Homo-oligomer: A and B are copies of this chain.
């Protein structure tokens, strides 16, 4: 199958492009390297020394004999996107090409506006390009479990059947996202459902959980193929960050009580889920929605797992509870359905002791590259402007505590 991976130089995108290429698909990466730009802006670096994309692609050709096409440009630029579609003629488009960090979107107004405009316009462009140039092409769009928030009822996969005043309907599951970034994905989801309805497009919206891990079968074949491993406060995901903190002897930073429950998955399951979606295209006019994660954990549970793994490796691991920089429920009901991808053949790789060991070992291996100042949260949801440059790591905790007290008013609103 001809598959375009938009955002194929990013964390999930790179792993996906390699996996689909190995499985025999004709893959094109579409990317404008914005993700690398944001590292420069934030003064952060992936733990792992990733190579420039050109070098990565040469290495892949060397080890696999396979060529991945490359189109360099911005999907928010319609002329570029349309030219790419005409040139590559994809049968499926996997769309990762969005700003994907909640804290980044909460830095200030410009970052919030950028995130929503970039993500919404990019996805609108993809929808129009499919409609105009290739109406049969299947869109596989990465959403997030964070679109749902934490309602006090079970979270279904995209749609819920409601009985109300003696009548019944199946409607989109209500969304209560927790950042301007998560909101942008909710906007996308609504736009995609509408485009399927009016134009008969095919789409699969994957509400992905928090991804962990960096190694996949493809990436392991050559050091030049190594994937990102983000641990900073803005782009780092929580389990990766905990492993790095354990490796350098810093306390694991749990936000608030740590009762925040989320869905998680191994990056090796991410790439498999994408392949399953490609092989099971939505019908014309259909917008499928899957919840893409394999296990639920609270943040504190994860911290305790890393603590145990670290101790086994002889590390002295402590857990620290910081005032929560986000506005979110710290203890809540959470039960999100996630059976559809399993029904289609996903065999989950659950978080095991051995995987945790290997994650911590990766962190130990690249310990010299860690910037310890990047792990304390410096973006506070309660503030409309967060100037990361002015904040020192030492003051982050005190500043958060003060802000949390000032912002008591927000605690009256529903978590």
Interface residues of A (CB under 8 A from B): 78, 109, 112-113, 116-117, 120-121, 124-125, 128, 131-132, 151-154, 160, 162-165, 167-169, 171-180, 183, 186-187, 190-191, 193-194, 196-200, 283-286, 327, 333, 381-382, 384-385, 407, 409-410, 412-414
Interface centre among A131, A169, A413 (most CB of B within 10 A): A413
Residue of B nearest to A284 (CB): B409
Determine if A183 and B191 form an interchain contact, defined as CB atoms under 8 angstroms apart.
yes
Q: Which of B124, B167, B176 contacts A153 (CB 8 A)?
A: B167
Q: Across the interface, which residues of B come within 8 angstroms of A177, CB to CB?
A: 190, 194
Q: Once bound together, how far apart are the Cα atoms of A196 and B414, in whole Å?
A: 10
Interface centre among A171, A191, A196 (most CB of B within 10 A): A171
Q: Across the interface, which residues of B come within 8 angstroms of A193, CB to CB?
A: 176
Determine if A187 and B120 form an interchain contact, defined as CB atoms under 8 angstroms apart.
yes
Q: How far is the CB of A106 from chain B (nearest CB, A)?
A: 8
Q: Across the interface, which residues of B come within 8 angstroms of A198, CB to CB?
A: 327, 381-382, 410
Q: Across the interface, which residues of B come within 8 angstroms of A385, CB to CB?
A: 132
Q: Once bound together, how far apart are the Cα atoms of A122 and B166, in whole Å?
A: 40
Q: Once bound together, how far apart are the Cα atoms of A367 and B191, in whole Å?
A: 40
Q: Across the interface, which residues of B come within 8 angstroms of A167, CB to CB?
A: 152-154, 333
Q: Across the interface, which residues of B come within 8 angstroms of A410, CB to CB?
A: 197-200, 285
Q: Which of B171, B186, B285 contacts A409 (CB 8 A)?
A: B285
Residue of B nearest to A121 (CB): B113
Q: Once bound together, how far apart are the Cα atoms of A175 and B94, in whole Å?
A: 25
Copies per complex of this chain: 2
Q: Across the interface, which residues of B come within 8 angstroms of A191, CB to CB?
A: 116, 180, 183
Q: How far is the CB of A1 from chain B (nearest CB, A)?
A: 22
Q: Across the interface, which residues of B come within 8 angstroms of A199, CB to CB?
A: 382, 384, 410
Q: Across the interface, which residues of B come within 8 angstroms of A113, CB to CB?
A: 121, 124-125
Q: Across the interface, which residues of B come within 8 angstroms of A132, CB to CB?
A: 384-385
Determine if B172 and A175 form an interchain contact, defined as CB atoms under 8 angstroms apart.
yes
Q: How far is the CB of A241 from chain B (nearest CB, A)?
A: 22
Q: Across the interface, which residues of B come within 8 angstroms of A109, CB to CB?
A: 78, 124-125, 128
Q: How far is the CB of A185 from chain B (nearest CB, A)?
A: 11
Top-8 shortest CB links A-B: A152-B169, A285-B413, A200-B409, A171-B174, A153-B164, A198-B327, A109-B128, A187-B187
Q: Which of B112, B116, B117, B176 contacts A128 (CB 8 A)?
A: B112
Interface centre among A113, A120, A194 (most CB of B within 10 A): A194
Q: How far is the CB of A140 from chain B (nearest CB, A)?
A: 19
Q: How far is the CB of A354 from chain B (nearest CB, A)?
A: 35
Q: Which of B128, B172, B412 contacts A384 (CB 8 A)?
A: B128
Interface centre among A178, A284, A385, A414 (most CB of B within 10 A): A414
Q: How far is the CB of A67 from chain B (nearest CB, A)?
A: 32
